């Protein structure tokens, strides 16, 4: 017994140390091109930026033409430097309207978000673009997800609420009423068993629904590859397995007990710890975890769940208790009920106060304004939840202010039964029905995107005055990885365009890497920009902007920014963590059935076989190698010799179609439809890797007449062409 409790205690400690707040619900924050954009020329790729890390296996982008045919290259991928950045390359596009359809699987909780938006290239019909925009506006609510969350909340709160109600309300009230334990003994075991079964059923439904959404279906089969991927390769799966192990701990501690009085204090502490970690694991997959700084919101959400467990879960235990008293002596029933109400009311008042405080905090974070509360689905679901909660508070006030005083007076008469105990039972039963309905509204609320979307990382902005110039620097999205660096130059409020060049120098305070430098391209109206992965490490960076003008001294402006690491959770070996937790789950499964007396056959079938199966699956999952999408690495340094060799090959093989400047305006290219790709866009650092350019040169560009050069050019020649193509990226003119 002591060994089993020690094993469970060790698991609870390890789980408590392992569950750190990370982000949840990947919501689209911005896109390139933007929704409804009308572009003069087709973009090289579509870029989507989400509020948090997205899973690289199940997150996709499709770009469709007006006939519903795909025009993307099918190479959608998550940026390794910025795991909130999802991209897909495009073929050469003629004029027309195109629809971007995306699906993002959260790398943290397995939640799937999806949507679409249009953009146009060339001269298009404005009405057709507006129709396409309206068609892309939709919110899909999964009934399976709502049911799974409702059952999960109901089961978890029932377990926690029954623990606290039994220890803090029922037993003290029974002793104060001087009633023997055998006389007042509600069927706590039946309630706990049902809650544990509900928790397992909710977990299974949730997993299959999440896997179904990841694969494009409403619900997936247990043997579906998407189920395997979500369970063993995402953080959602790790938390799911951890909740399964916690459920086994609770089964082992609760299932063999008739009442909570039969457990030792150590077991009661373990049950409370397991139930508390269960609530915390739910909070780690909630909207609270999607905030830019999630620690405090997750703690707030966990306190909200704990307070709701005291109130709603306690009410469920309260109703079960008072209904179990129907057959005992009416005088004893009145006496015990009179003791129960004030004790539970005190707990309920504290829980309601906590719910109000934590609820207001979360509403400010996820709604923000009164308008958003009224006009958004999320806000409307919150209003429904509040109306149900107010109805419960009203019934509680009737019990506390009207029924309780009458019960106390009746309990003071030792031989006079009272009907007020029966009336209280009916009212508190109504409260429970409202509480169960309230949790259904919570299931809807947590399945909807928040009314207020907050980006994980906002743009970095700074400005400085140097001589007669004002330099405004904007870095978007302002995180480690690929960023767009834009400088706005003004003098006395007027844009400055008559400059020789604008440079940016990037120096890391780390000191371990050499400074970088780039020339920004003029965009007109005093704006200069460049895109690239110049901020490659977390930490403090100095960005120095240098402006050179013919008739002025050079202007220098230094800006200092601090960048935090992004997407660390996406880089974790989730299969290793999932496999390790499956080993723990096997031990917890054996802990759950440790005291059952089996003969040899049932022992093998019921206890040992499932545990060994979990160990076997855990071993296979742990040994899997995570799938990483990496292209070939360029072995040729981009020195003068390599670039010159590449230019010679480009002039011979590529100029007829792509033209000397690479804009797709060669003599042959002008006769093609669609036109050859504009290499000046594809060559910009950060848009494509060298490996991707090498693959297109080797195998041809999808959806175009560009032939493969695998046989015509050696590997070395193709890499030299890649190095030359990089020189075609736009540069500022001195």
pLDDT value, residue 62: 84
Here the CATH number for the domain that contains residue 88 is 2.60.40.1220
Coil vs helix vs strand at 685? strand
CA-based nearest residue to 101, from 258, 14, 216, 265: 216
pLDDT above 70 for 96: yes
Residues 420 and 295 in one domain: yes
Kind of pairing between the strands at 60-64 and 494-495: unpaired
**End-to-end Cα, the chain, rounded Å:** 80
More confident: 677 or 9:
677
Here the CATH number for the domain that contains residue 503 is 2.60.40.10
Helix (H) or strand (E) holding 30: strand 28-32
Q: What are the Cα distances from residue 420, in Å, to 412, 414, 688?
A: 13, 15, 75
In the beta sheet, which residues pair with residue 542? 507, 560
Residue 734 in domain? no
More confident: 526 or 666:
526
The total number of structural domains in the chain stands at 4
Residues 722 and 686 in one domain: yes
Coil vs helix vs strand at 432? helix
Residues 561 and 439 in one domain: no
Kind of pairing between the strands at 481-491 and 494-495: antiparallel
Among 416, 447, 478, the domain-final residue is 447
How high does pLDDT run on average in the chain?
76
pLDDT value, residue 110: 59
Residues 366 and 489 in one domain: no
More confident: 182 or 460:
460
Residues 354 and 401 in one domain: yes
Which residues 6+ apart lie within 8 Å of 296 measured at CB? Answer: none
Residues 301 and 271 in one domain: yes
Cβ proximity of 106 and 54 under 8 Å: yes
Among 105, 135, 165, the domain-final residue is 135
The string of pLDDT tens digits covering residues 618-630 is: 788 777 755 444 4
pLDDT above 80 for 484: yes
Among 397, 415, 447, the domain-final residue is 447
pTM exceeds 0.85 for this model? no
The string of pLDDT tens digits covering residues 6-27 is: 555 555 444 444 443 333 456 7
pLDDT value, residue 357: 92
Cis peptide before 553 (omega within 30 of 0): no
Residues 154 and 266 in one domain: yes
The string of pLDDT tens digits covering residues 426-463 is: 777 888 888 888 888 888 877 776 666 544 445 688 88
Residues 267 and 387 in one domain: yes
Q: What are the Cα distances from residue 56, in Å, to 85, 87, 383, 630?
A: 10, 11, 36, 12
Residue 646 in domain? yes
Residue 197 in domain? no
Which residues 6+ apart lie within 8 Å of 499 measured at CB? Answer: 489, 522, 547, 548, 549
Residue 193 in domain? no
Q: Averaging pLDDT over each range in 96-110, 297-311, 652-666, which range is the top one?
A: 297-311
Here the CATH number for the domain that contains residue 713 is 1.10.760.10
Structural domain including 560 reads 460-565
Residues 360 and 389 in one domain: yes
* Per-residue confidence band for 303, with pLDDT thresholds at 50, 70 and 90: very high
Radius of gyration of the chain (CA): 32
Q: Give the C-alpha separation, 82 to 30, whole Å.
A: 14
More confident: 383 or 448:
383
Backbone angles phi, psi at 114, to 5 degrees: -155, 165
Least confident of 113-122, 252-261, 463-472: 252-261
Backbone angles phi, psi at 362, to 5 degrees: -70, -35
Residues 150 and 128 in one domain: no
| Mean pLDDT confidence for 145-165 | 88
Q: Give the C-alpha separation, 528 to 522, whole Å.
A: 4
Residues 403 and 283 in one domain: yes
Residues 263 and 352 in one domain: yes
Q: Give the C-alpha separation, 340 to 343, whole Å.
A: 5
pLDDT above 50 for 135: no
Residue 9 in domain? no
Residue 591 in domain? no
Residue 159 in domain? yes
Residue 576 in domain? no
Q: Give the C-alpha separation, 405 to 388, whole Å.
A: 26
pLDDT value, residue 629: 43
């Amino acid at each position: 017994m002591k060994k089993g409790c020690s094993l469970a205690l060790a698991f609870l400690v390890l789980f408590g140390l392992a569950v750190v707040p990370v982000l949840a619900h990947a919501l689209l924050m911005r896109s390139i091109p933007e929704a409804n954009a009308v572009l003069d020329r087709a973009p090289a790729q579509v870029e989507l930026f989400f509020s948090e890390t997205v899973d690289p296996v199940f997150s996709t982008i499709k770009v469709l033409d007006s006939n519903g045919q795909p025009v993307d290259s099918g190479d959608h991928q998550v940026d390794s430097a910025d795991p909130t950045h999802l991209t897909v390359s495009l073929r050469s596009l003629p004029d027309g309207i195109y629809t971007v359809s995306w699906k993002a699987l959260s790398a943290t909780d397995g939640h799937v978000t999806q949507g679409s938006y249009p953009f146009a290239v060339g001269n298009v019909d404005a009405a057709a673009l507006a129709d396409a925009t309206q068609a892309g506006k939709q919110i899909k609510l999964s009934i399976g997800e709502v049911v799974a969350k409702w059952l999960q909340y109901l089961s978890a709160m029932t377990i926690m609420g029954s623990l606290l109600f039994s220890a803090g309300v029922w037993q003290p009230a029974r002793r104060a009423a001087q009633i023997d334990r055998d006389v007042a003994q509600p069927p706590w075991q039946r309630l706990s068993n049902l809650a544990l079964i509900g928790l397992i059923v909710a977990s299974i439904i949730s997993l299959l629904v999440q896997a179904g959404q990841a694969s494009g279906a409403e619900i997936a089969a247990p043997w579906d590859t998407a189920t395997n991927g979500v369970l063993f390769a995402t953080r959602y799966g790790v938390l799911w397995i951890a909740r399964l192990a916690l459920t086994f701990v609770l089964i082992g501690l609760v299932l063999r007990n008739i009442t909570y009085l039969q457990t030792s204090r150590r077991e009661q502490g373990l049950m409370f710890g397991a139930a508390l970690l269960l609530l915390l694991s739910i909070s780690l997959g909630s909207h609270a975890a999607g905030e830019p700084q999630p620690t405090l919101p997750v703690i707030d959400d966990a306190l909200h769940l704990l307070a709701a467990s005291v109130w709603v879960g306690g009410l469920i235990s309260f109703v079960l208790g008072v209904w179990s008293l129907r057959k005992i002596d009416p005088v004893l029933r009145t006496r015990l009920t009179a003791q129960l109400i004030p004790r539970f009311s005190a707990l309920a008042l504290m829980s309601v106060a906590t719910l109000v405080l934590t609820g207001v905090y979360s509403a400010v974070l996820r709604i923000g304004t009164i308008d958003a509360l009224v006009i958004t689905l999320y806000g409307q679901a919150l209003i429904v939840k509040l109306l149900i909660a107010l109805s419960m508070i009203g019934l509680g006030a009737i019990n506390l202010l009207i029924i309780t005083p009458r019960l106390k007076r009746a309990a003071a008469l030792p031989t006079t039964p009272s009907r007020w105990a029966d009336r209280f039972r009916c009212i508190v039963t109504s409260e429970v029905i409202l509480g169960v309905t309230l949790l259904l509204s919570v299931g809807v609320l947590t399945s909807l995107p928040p009314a207020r979307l907050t980006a994980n990382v906002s743009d970095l902005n700074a400005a400085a005055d140097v001589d007669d110039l004002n330099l405004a620097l904007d870095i978007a999205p302002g995180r480690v990885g690929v960023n767009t660096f834009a400088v706005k130059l003004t003098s006395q409020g007027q844009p400055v365009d008559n400059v020789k060049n604008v440079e940016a120098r990037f120096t890391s305070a780390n000191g371990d890497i050499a400074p970088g430098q780039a020339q920004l391209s003029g965009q007109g109206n005093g704006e200069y920009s460049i895109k690239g992965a110049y901020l490659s490490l977390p930490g403090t960076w100095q960005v120095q902007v240098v402006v050179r003008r013919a008739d002025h001294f050079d202007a220098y402006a230094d800006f200092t920014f601090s960048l935090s690491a992004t997407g660390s959770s996406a880089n974790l070996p989730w299969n290793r963590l999932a496999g390790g937790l499956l080993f723990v789950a096997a031990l917890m499964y054996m802990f759950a059935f440790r005291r059952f007396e089996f003969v040899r056959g049932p022992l093998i079938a019921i206890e040992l076989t499932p545990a060994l199966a979990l160990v076997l699956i855990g071993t296979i999952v742990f040994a899997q190698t995570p799938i990483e999408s990496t292209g070939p690495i360029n072995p040729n340094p981009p020195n003068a010799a390599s670039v010159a060799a590449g230019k010679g090959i480009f002039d011979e093989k590529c100029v007829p179609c792509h033209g000397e400047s690479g804009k797709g305006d060669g003599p042959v290219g002008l006769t093609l439809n669609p036109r050859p790709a504009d290499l000046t866009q594809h060559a910009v650092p950060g848009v494509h890797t060298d490996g991707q350019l090498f693959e297109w040169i080797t195998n041809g560009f999808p959806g175009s007449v560009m032939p493969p050069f695998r046989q015509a050019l050696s590997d070395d020649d193709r890499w030299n062409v890649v190095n030359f193509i990089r020189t075609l990226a736009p540069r500022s003119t001195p």
